[in-house]
Amino acid sequence: MAGQEQRRRRHRVVLFPLPFQGHVTPMLQLAALLHSRGLAVTVLHTAFNAPDPARHPELAFVPIHEALPDEVTCPGADIARQLLALNTACEAPFRDALASLLLLRGRRGQDQDQGSVACAVVDGQCYAAVDAAAQLGVPVLALRTDSAATFRTMLAFPRLRDAGYEMLDELVPDLEPLRVRDLIRVDGSDADALCGFIARVAGAVRSSASGVVVNTFEGIEAPELAKIRRELSLPVFAVGPLHLMSRAPAEQTTLRAPDGGCLAWLDTRPPRSVLYVSLGSVATVGHAAFEEMAWGLAGSGVPFLWVVRPGLVAGGEEEAPPPLPDGFSEEIKNRGKIVTWAPQREVLAHAAIGAFWTHCGWNSTLESVCEGVPMLVQPCFADQTVNARYVTHVWGVGMEVGEVIERGIVAEAVAKVMVGEEGARMRERAHRLKMEASAATSLSIDSLIHYISSLPT
């Protein structure tokens, strides 16, 4: 065994995450997993939203020295333009950094422990880095930090665009149960930029990737994974749920400091009595919707833990959390708790949590599924609409808050999921899904390790 591990450590995997919380987290979880299976790991990263190397002494970290334009780093930037600019800015520095690591192979001499680069694993949204690695002759795997279903919609994008679907409630052929309205929205002023971005992401996988790694598991997405495998004729490794498989502690991967005090507050609450509310790390709501959320929570009569992070309200202050509506703090003094960032995985695992009002980012969705917590869904953008549709219509573990965020509708939805019969049925199904998640096998991880270990170095 020791010999096998030593042989594997000669295989170095170079990882490159997209520098946002929902992407850094699964990439670092994958890093921990690959290292625990005996591979040497180097994480190339941007200075923007850089991970903290001190939290991962077992990994090597190398900054790529990018020069990011304001449109990437300024808060509230348009997401499509942000992703395109990020790809452009990272392409050359990523290529240079990877080329330097390849050169080490020649210089290594007697230092066998360094390991030679066997392959790269690059966030699938970083199409420029996927292409750059392939151009350097490095086998490159694209990491999908979203669901297999979402990835399928991106692969199908040119076909969907040409078909010009307009009926929002129409089922999309070959992507059922997704409706047109569940697909990644590409309307408005950034439509062309977003279309261009999706086309490049799909193009890079088809032309440059040697395989795809997806943070999902067969128990929830077997049909979607089978279809991707048929369509791409590439190895597709379903290695999720990565937070369970890697056993990486949550505090290792968070980019913000969580307020752990809310756990002590949860300890004082009866089982399944508290609604946890969080819209993730980047989604925003308008000022009016924020107020309706607050008064809806107050009107529901249900205890809640609400993450109100800086930047949550569009156009508001980016450094400080938005002010709560007048009179709201008084209203909820005995029944609510507000934090700017929660230790989410611990919160979802807490017995006091009854349901999760979520934007359906893929990490949040998986974390909720793995803890058997039913969801109230409020998808905001990107893959969140796809995830919300699967939560509500495929797995049956959640319901929509409502098309419009209005206090009366909110209060009714919260009561339904927390104390209604519908909520109880969703909780039962969520419990079954939790069992499936905990039984997810490491077969696909084994084949990923075998695949990487078999690559020449």
List interacting residues with ligand UDX (CB under 6 A).
Answer: 20-23, 25, 145-146, 254, 258, 278, 280-283, 307, 341-342, 344-345, 361-364, 367, 382-384
Residues 6+ apart with CB under 8 A from 257: 341
Q: State the minimum distance, in angstroms, from the CB of residue 259 to ligand UDX.
A: 8
Which C-beta is closer to ligand UDX: that of 20 or that of 197? 20
Which C-beta is closer to ligand UDX: that of 34 or that of 305? 305
| Structural contact between residues 201 and 143, judged by C-beta atoms closer than 8 angstroms | no
For the question of residue 123 being annotated catalytic, the response is yes
Q: Facing residues of 437 across strands?
A: none
Q: State the minimum distance, in angstroms, from the CB of residue 454 to ligand UDX.
A: 31
Q: State the minimum distance, in angstroms, from the CB of residue 204 to ligand UDX.
A: 18
Q: State the minimum distance, in angstroms, from the CB of residue 334 to ligand UDX.
A: 22
Q: Which amino acid appears at position 253 of this protein?
A: T
**Can you tell me the distance from the alpha carbon of 421 to that of 418, in angstroms, rounded to the nearest whole number?**
9
| Structural contact between residues 283 and 377, judged by C-beta atoms closer than 8 angstroms | no
| Structural contact between residues 418 and 375, judged by C-beta atoms closer than 8 angstroms | no
| Structural contact between residues 370 and 241, judged by C-beta atoms closer than 8 angstroms | yes
Q: Identify the active-site residue in 35, 45, 56, 123.
A: 123
For the question of residue 23 being annotated catalytic, the response is yes
Q: Which tokens in the block code for residue 209?
A: 């990737």
Cα 127-133-138 angle, rounded to 5 deg: 140
HEC readout, 310-348: CCCECCCCCCCCCCCCCCHHHHHCCCEEEECCCCHHHHH
Which C-beta is closer to ligand UDX: that of 35 or that of 345? 345
Q: Identify the active-site residue in 11, 23, 45, 350.
A: 23
Q: State the minimum distance, in angstroms, from the CB of residue 161 to ligand UDX.
A: 21
Which C-beta is closer to ligand UDX: that of 114 or that of 363? 363
Positive or negative, the CA dihedral 93, 99, 104, 105 is positive
| Spatial CA neighbour of 14 closest among 36, 42, 47, 45 | 42
| Structural contact between residues 11 and 118, judged by C-beta atoms closer than 8 angstroms | yes
Centroid of chain to Cα 277: 17
Q: State the minimum distance, in angstroms, from the CB of residue 137 to ligand UDX.
A: 30
Centroid of chain to Cα 294: 26
Which C-beta is closer to ligand UDX: that of 221 or that of 383? 383
Residues 6+ apart with CB under 8 A from 192: none
Which C-beta is closer to ligand UDX: that of 141 or that of 382? 382
**Can you tell me the distance from the alpha carbon of 335 to that of 352, in angstroms, rounded to the nearest whole number?**
13
Catalytic residues: 23, 123
